Every structure is written in C-alpha cells, then in structure tokens.
Amino acid sequence: KNEVEQSPQNLTAQEGEFITINCSYSVGISALHWLQQHPGGGIVSLFMLSSGKKKHGRLIATINIQEKHSSLHITASHPRDSAVYICAAHTGNQFYFGTGTSLTVIP
Amino acid sequence: GAGVSQSPSNKVTEKGKDVELRCDPISGHTALYWYRQSLGQGLEFLIYFQGNSAPDKSGLPSDRFSAERTGGSVSTLTIQRTQQEDSAVYLCASSLMASGTHNTYEQYFGPGTRLTVT
C-alpha cells in the first residue's frame, strides 16, 4: 500500500473548468506539499500545507488533518495549467510521493 | 539569481561503473534534497541534508548509494557498481530551511541529471 494516493491519475478538462485533484495519505505528516511538473520535466513547488487552506492566484490547496486528505483546486483552468501535479507527504526525515495526476486542459 | 544547478545533465554509463552526480544549491539555502524519478514512475525521496547535521540515509535504495555535502553547499550523490535499475532522472532541490513556513521551506528544484546505465 502506498503511503500517498492521488486521484484521478489522468484528467482532461475544457478551458475554464474548475478542477479538483485529491490526495490521501496514511502517515503522520509535518507538512503536505503540492508540486507541479511541466512536460519538459521541470518541477515547481506550489504549496506547503500543515493545516487549513492556502490560495495563490487561481490555485487553492486545502488539507484536512483528521481525515488525512488534501485537495488541489484550479479555478478557471487554462491550457498552460497542463502538467503533472504531485502530492508529497513530509514526515520526519522522509518524503512520500503520490504517483501524480496528469492534467490536460483543452482550449 | 542563480537557481539550483546539477551536473552532468546527461550521463550514460556501463553497468558496474561508478558515477558521481553533482548538485549546486541556491546560495544561502541550508537544506538540500536528492530525489529520483524512474521512467514512467513517480518521485522517490533519497536523502536530505539540513545544515551540518548528519543526514538520515534510510531513504537510499541500497548501500551502493552514498551522498555527501561539503562545506554546507555543494552535494555529490555517488552510485557505485551501477545497475540498469539505477537508470532514472536524479533531481536535487534546496530550500532556505527544512522546516518553517512555505517561504523558508519551499523547495527549488534543479533540472535533474538523466542517468542511463547500459
């Protein structure tokens, strides 16, 4: 069993749609990270959460510590949002990664 | 300013050879992380360094893997007696600290080293 599970694995959306990517984890965490990996391979850190909700532009990340669940939302999706979104649980001296959600936004 | 740099960008080696991968973190960042991403697979955490503290090596996949960080800056990941299953992109990241808020904890990733073991 993976320590971090993401869903969906693949997602195709029309431009403008509201998108939700889910992440469930089974370990105790000090922080939960959301990363974005572009088709060229570069990785960017989007959010680090230990509680509550954070917003950056059209991106919103929430976490429910009791339920061990986090969501990444993209409002008014755009083709440039097409990327792989990765959830990572930081616990102690370890990081556990989800397998990623591949998002394609069609114009 | 300069971001995280890694060298070489690509490395092809024969099975059984040793390889060294280098990471130059962002200046002033005290935390440095190594990950790998095998083809079609997710990210896998290897090891991280925080300041001058000894790293937790339990994430390294085998004793053929070792990492060091000299002077709290540049880090080298060494793979001895490479095997074909070591083929992957090895990513390095650094952050201001290994804890705290997103501002101090946000990881900046390098472009990776693509290792191919033939």
Beta A19-25 vs A69-74: how paired, if at all?
antiparallel
CB–CB of B60/B86 below 8 Å?
A: no
Decide if B93 touches A, using CB distance below 8 A.
yes
Residue A104 pLDDT = 97
Contacts A6 to B, Cβ<8 Å:
none
Closest B-chain CA to A101: B42
Q: From first to last of its 107 residues, what are the pLDDT tens digits of chain A?
A: 689 999 999 999 999 999 999 999 999 888 899 999 998 878 999 998 888 999 999 999 999 999 999 999 999 999 999 999 999 998 877 899 999 999 999 99
Residues of chain B scoring pLDDT < 70: 1, 98-104
Closest A-chain CA to B31: A93
Decide if B92 touches A, using CB distance below 8 A.
no
Contacts 24+ apart (CB under 8 A), B23-28: B23/B74, B23/B75, B23/B76, B23/B77, B23/B92, B23/B94, B23/B110, B24/B73, B24/B74, B25/B73, B25/B74, B25/B75, B25/B92, B25/B94, B26/B1, B26/B2, B26/B94, B26/B108, B27/B1, B27/B2, B27/B73, B28/B96
Residue A92 pLDDT = 76
Residue A30 pLDDT = 86
Å between B41 CA and nearest CA of chain A: 7
CB–CB of B61/B40 below 8 Å?
A: no
Cβ distance of B43 and A88 shorter than 8 Å = yes
Count, residues in chain A: 107
Residue B15 pLDDT = 97
Facing B105 at nearest CB: one of A31, A92, A93: A31
Select from A38, A63, A28, A68 the least CA-distant residue to A48: A63
Closest A-chain CA to B33: A95
**A97, A101, A102: which to substitute to probe chain B, counting the most B Cβ within 10 Å?**
A97
Contacts 24+ apart (CB under 8 A), A61-68: A61/A34, A63/A32, A68/A24, A68/A25, A68/A26
Select from B21, B31, B107, B60 the least CA-distant residue to A86: B107
Å between B83 CA and nearest CA of chain A: 23
Distance CA B22, CA B74 (A): 7
Residue B98 pLDDT = 66
Cβ distance of A41 and B35 shorter than 8 Å = no
Residue B1 pLDDT = 58
Facing B42 at nearest CB: one of A45, A48, A100: A100
Closest B-chain CA to A54: B102
